Amino acid sequence: MAELPPRTLAFRVEGPITREDLPGLCDRVCRLLGEHRAQRAVCDCSSVPADAVTVEALSRLQLGARHYGCRVELANASAELIELVEFMGLTDVFAPRTAAQP
C-alpha cells in the first residue's frame, strides 16, 4: 500500500516582524496547527527581512510546531535569511525549500 503524503498547512508570515509581534504570531500559527493537525507546515518567508527577530519568530514557530508533531519548512526565503539561519547554527532546525521542491 502506498504511503499517503503528509498533511500540509501553508501559511505566510508578513514582515517586518517586531518583538512585540512574536507572542501573537506564535499563538495564531499554533492555533492553525492545532485545528488542521498538519504534519508539515510550509511558511512563505518571501516578505520578511533577514534579521534576528525574524529568525527568532521562525524558531518559535518551529518549537510550537513540534508540540503538534509538525515541522516547519521555509519557502521562498531570501538567500540572506538562509545565510543568517546558517550563521546562527540553526540549519538543522529548518528545512529550507527551493522552488523545485513539491
- CATH number of 54's domain: 3.30.750.24
Question: How many independent structural domains does the chain possess?
Answer: 1
Task: Let me know if residue 29 belongs to a domain.
Answer: yes
In this prediction, residue 10 carries a pLDDT of 94
Task: Let me know if residue 76 belongs to a domain.
Answer: yes
Task: Let me know if residue 63 belongs to a domain.
Answer: yes
What residue ranges of the chain have pLDDT lower than 50? 98-102
Task: Let me know if residue 68 belongs to a domain.
Answer: yes
Looking at residue 55, what DSSP letter applies?
A: H
Q: What is the pTM of this model?
A: 0.84
User: What contacts 90, CB < 8 A, 6 or more positions away?
Assistant: 55, 59
Task: Let me know if residue 3 belongs to a domain.
Answer: no
State how far the Cα of 1 lies from the Cα of 45, in Å rounded to an integer: 35
Task: Let me know if residue 101 belongs to a domain.
Answer: no
In this prediction, residue 98 carries a pLDDT of 43
Beta strands at 71-75 and 40-47: parallel, antiparallel or unpaired: parallel
In this prediction, residue 92 carries a pLDDT of 84
- The answer to whether 72 and 62 are in contact (CB under 8 A) is yes
In this prediction, residue 74 carries a pLDDT of 93
- Its domain, for residue 31, covers 8-87
In this prediction, residue 2 carries a pLDDT of 60
Task: Let me know if residue 94 belongs to a domain.
Answer: no
In this prediction, residue 6 carries a pLDDT of 73
Task: Let me know if residue 16 belongs to a domain.
Answer: yes
In this prediction, residue 3 carries a pLDDT of 63
In this prediction, residue 7 carries a pLDDT of 87
